[in-house]
Structure 1
Amino acid sequence: MTTILFNKPYGVLCQFTDTRSPTERPTLSGFGLPAGVYPAGRLDRDSEGLLILTDDGREQARIADPKHKMAKTYLVQVEGAPDEDALTPLRSGMTLKDGPTRPAQARLIAPPTLWQRDPPVRFRKSVPDTWLEITIREGRNRQVRRMCAAIGFPCLRLVRWRVGDWTVEGIESGTWVRLDH
């Protein structure tokens, strides 16, 4: 079994081909990944960070399927300055348009040292930004972004930092490491 930890850059699709767009968008095929591995779960085009790929279908299902409740930790730069009280709905669970979420772990953090994003996050002098660490055990479409927007703090940058025991720490954007089992 082969498992790949890939630091997906901003703007890259989590698939090997792009059949939907008349203009070619960057896909996983541009990063020299080994043949026969497939993403275990998805990461939105405008999100970055840890994407796990594997050649084992059962492992892929175990990582991606919400019934296994594998923790996924995100570093999230939001617009505005939430305080501890603003994070309460995230921690207690909230209702989004597609139903209630499970309680998340959420905390304010110092700005992390990350790779440069291309393009850079927009900066406005008049609006502060804050970093959060959010851990969820489900994975609905754009869930972390929607949760942050629901409490009034839209995401500027979203980096998946950890899935289960795997982390993107030490892996440069656009590169990957192989874990052979």
Structure 2
Amino acid sequence: MKKQTKSTSSTIVLFNKPFNVLTQFTDADNRQTLKDFIDIPNIYAAGRLDRDSEGLLVLTNDGKLQHKLTHPKAKTSKTYWVQVEGIPDDRAIKALQGGVELKDGLTQPAKVKIIDEPAVWPRNPPVRFRKHIPTTWLSMTISEGKNRQVRRMTAHVGYPTLRLVRYRVGNWTIDGIKNGEYVTLS
């Protein structure tokens, strides 16, 4: 007798995560989580986005897709818009592009370039600026996911991250998705 399997379709949710939201559905300390924004059962975040980071988070009920997006061997590229303190010089940009030595090892080379300030939503609360220190926006594309990697990389070369917005994961972007909202792909 042939075993029948229930056909379930893949659900993919692209969420533009606000600042100060945890990338989980529950929290014992009653902080904001995904459940405050998304009411779709049986989906899980494919990767993490720190509480103090913003932008694209992919959620799915497809275990294979989740594994593909998060496993280091898959090398799924992610692009971040990074506001840093100061104006990075060529040495810093070249160091980021070549990979920098962090406590947990050498990062893979990154695609890094200085960009104009992207058209992003105001952050709540706003980033704290220092009156006499300018800021710069970078586009950084990496294909590994060490803990707080982008922040540690920019700090390592002397330009601490003030704001971090994930713009792209694989072929998906936050284009057209307002902060705090999501779209469902099926």
TM-score bucket (shorter structure): over 0.9
Q: Number of residues paired by the alignment?
A: 177
* SS of residue matched to 2:35: helix
**Bigger Rg, structure 1 or 2:** 2
> 5+ residue gaps in structure 2?
1-9
* SS of residue matched to 2:24: coil
CA RMSD between the two structures: 0.8
Inter-partner Cα distance in structure 2 for 1:68 and 1:116: 33
Inter-partner Cα distance in structure 2 for 1:143 and 1:8: 18
Name the aligned partner's letter for residue 121 of structure 1. V
Q: 1:30 aligns with which of 16, 33, 36?
A: 36
Residue 19 of structure 2 corresponds to residue 10 of structure 1: yes
Cα offset, 1:125, TM superposition: 1.9
Give 1:120's aligned residue.
126
Identity, % of aligned pairs?
57
Q: 2:93 aligns with which of 87, 90, 103?
A: 87
Inter-partner Cα distance in structure 2 for 1:35 and 1:136: 30
Give 2:3's aligned residue.
none
Residue 66 of structure 2 corresponds to residue 57 of structure 1: no
Name the aligned partner's letter for residue 66 of structure 1. P
Q: TM-score scaled by structure 2?
A: 0.93
Inter-partner Cα distance in structure 2 for 1:76 and 1:170: 19
Residue 74 of structure 2 corresponds to residue 74 of structure 1: no
Give 1:131's aligned residue.
137
Cα offset, 1:32, TM superposition: 2.9
Inter-partner Cα distance in structure 2 for 1:141 and 1:30: 25
Name the aligned partner's letter for residue 116 of structure 1. P
